Amino acid sequence: MTTSARSKKKKPYGEVVDLFCGVGALSHGLQRAGLKIIAGYDTDPRCQHAFEKNNHASFHVRDVAKLTPDEIKGHFSGKLPSVLAGCAPCQPFSTYKQRYSEDPQWGLVTKFAKLAVEVEPDFVTMENVPALLRYKEGRVFRRFCNIIEKAGYELTWTVAKCEDFGVPQKRRRLVVIASKSGAPVALRSTRSTAKTVRDAIGNLRQLEAGDIDPKDPLHAASSLTAINLKRIRASKPGGTWRDWPKSLRAPCHKRPTGMTYPGVYARMSWDEPSPTMTTQCYGYGNGRFGHPEQDRAISLREAAILQSFPKSYEFLPRQEKISFTEVGRWIGNAVPVKLAEAVGRVIINTNSENLKNGSTT
């Protein structure tokens, strides 16, 4: 980079510490918006390479349930607005279950809120599944909001349609943004039309089931059994297993309970957003994860792109063997990057409004 290029580099609008950071999808979106990622915390040490490589920040293997406010405060310089971000998982951690008996699935949400008000960042943002609004008649979510609001923050939340933010995927996520100085600006749609599967992955190298792109080890498709190869060849884009000859139908499809699940063993449609990516999105039989045209399930790279990760996002060192189970879990659990980028813009715009109105942040 030349001296003139460095001089044109924009100063970051704020500093972020990301709790439950995983491979860094939330951080990456906030970084793309213009925030500086300082540190991330997660219990999975295997996420370190992806987080640090793509976000240029330090990764800490740490149980958030054991974090102290001072540990987090130590990352902020005090020269820029501070942001505490996180996506508290619904699955209980083993150490967490030993320490917190109440609401074992959602207690980390409360822990995150309590940490936030003790750290006192300028902004707090949390992303989670919309089911949090319904869990225990909404008491867990109301508790989270009450803790944040009683500490003097103004808070907004919305259930975002990810396809409205440039994510080529039908996904719903609960997004909370809280500001210490003035109400956060609204999280608004950034696209008038949704991106499609074709827009996202239509130009990637063709693969057969079991193949790996020699130029991109993440562009790898899982193998298919002989019967599943016949099934996907009989599948239509956007169709169901009901389109197959009866001889190809699985035993579960013939039972009354199986008749109500047409969205497994199915192909995506080229000209619609994809279905929600799950931790098993690389498997043809796990949902509507068949490629629209090629006789295989989508590759890990295609799944990542449908989560709006950049095509160059590096999950593991290039020489390291890829595990479908491991990387699929990282991708399926990730915050869509473009949704996170929209959240970052809300934080930046809110700070600008606060400054304009005379608030100090």
Question: Is residue 32 within a helix (H) or strand (E), and if so which, with residue range?
Answer: helix 25-33
The catalytic residue among 90, 145, 252, 281 is 90
User: Is 21 noted as a catalytic residue in this protein?
Assistant: no
Please give the domain boundaries of the chain with CATH numbers for all domains.
Answer: 12-193+335-356 (3.40.50.150), 197-333 (3.90.120.10)
CB atoms near residue 236 (< 10 Å) = 13
- Ranges of residues in the chain whose predicted pLDDT is under 70: 1-9, 90-106, 254-262, 355-356, 358-361
> CB burial class (10 A; 0-12, 13-18, 19+) of residue 276?
middle
Residue 304: per-residue pLDDT: 98
CB 213 within 8 A of CB 205: yes
190/325 Cα distance (integer angstroms)? 33
**The Cα angle at residue 43 between residues 41 and 45, in degrees rounded to 5:** 90
Residue 97: per-residue pLDDT: 38
CB 177 within 8 A of CB 128: no
Q: Which residue has the tokens 């074992």?
A: 104
The tokens describing 302, both together, are 């295609």
Residue 88: per-residue pLDDT: 84
Residue 308: per-residue pLDDT: 98
Q: Could you read off the pLDDT of 250-305 as tens digits, one per residue?
A: 877 766 655 556 678 999 999 999 999 999 999 999 999 999 999 999 999 999 99
Provide the whole-model pTM: 0.91
298/281 Cα distance (integer angstroms)? 8
